[in-house]
Amino acid sequence: MKVVVARHAGICYGVERALKMAAEAATTTDRVATLGPLIHNPQAVAALQERGVGVASSLDEIEQGTVVIRSHGVDPAVIEQAEQKGLAVVDATCPFVRAAHTCAAELAASGYAVVIVGESDHPEVEGILAHAGGEAVIVERAADLPARLPRRIGVVVQTTQQLDTLRDVVDDLLPRTAELRVCNTICSATAKRQTAAAELAEEVDVIVVVGGHNSGNTTRLTEICRARNPRTHHVETAAELDPAWFEGASVVGVSAGASTPDEQIQGVISAIESIPGDE
């Protein structure tokens, strides 16, 4: 079988930066922990743990040493609390996420009612909400918008959302508002990966998307591919591959989320190439 990799796939600048910052912190102090998983990739998080970077679910679990703020960002109050505890803080918030924080804060300060397009239970959205002052409407799609809204609306979007979703929300809001300000904070790396995955899915027999099952951006890549190719499969590692998926296939596509390291992608590619094809 021939394996074709999407033009844009795998680890992005923000994730690579966060991994590097956490690894460097482990070389300068004996006690380092990330506040929650640094990125949504269990294998990468496990590799960091082997290098001495622990994972804490809250600041209560970190009594001393260094805390690394994960790429998804946090409520600024959390950083203040960490500093008050005497912890050294390494802020690995992705620059694109930080831009979303800034937009949310500016919209709220300017008197706009803030609408966040994203997943309400995602840590990135929780951070955006905090920067908006804790007051915002969170929607995953246009259908989630409430019937009654203030006349001045400001929109900010989770960095890993699809542009079509943002467009749908904006189209719904336009006739219902007197003033609408939109911050398109979708990460350029995310947009490129989504476009490339969509194009590839239409050109191959089977497509495999590699990345954490807990990764929002990888899940969206899978949804985008599956809408174009029903033979779409999402795996974290090569161990999850099923040879039956590739029966009758001559060309297999591979895409990967922005939190997927290269070695993970290469492991899946090698495993696919080793699957016997049809005679």
User: Which positions are catalytic?
Assistant: 124
> What is the C-alpha to C-alpha distance for residues 170 and 209, in angstroms, rounded to an integer?
29
Do residues 199 and 173 lie in contact, with contact meaning Cβ atoms separated by under 8 Å? Answer: no
| Element spanning 79, H or E | helix 76-84
Among 176, 36, 149, which residue's Cα sits nearest to residue 92? 36
Kindly report the number of other CB atoms within 10 A of residue 25's CB atom.
23
Q: Which value, to the nearest 10 degrees, does the dihedral of the CA atoms of residues 257, 261, 266, 272 take?
A: -40
Q: Who's near 100: CB < 8 A, 6+ residues apart?
A: 124, 128, 131, 156, 157, 158, 159, 183, 185
Q: How many residues does the chain have?
A: 279
Which stretches does DSSP call E strand in 42-175? Answer: 53-56, 66-69, 88-91, 113-117, 137-139, 152-157
Looking at the DSSP bridge assignments, the partners of residue 68 are 34, 90
| Full strand arrangement of the beta sheet holding 113-117 | 137-139, 113-117, 152-157, 179-183
Task: Retrieve residue 136's tokens.
Answer: 């915002």
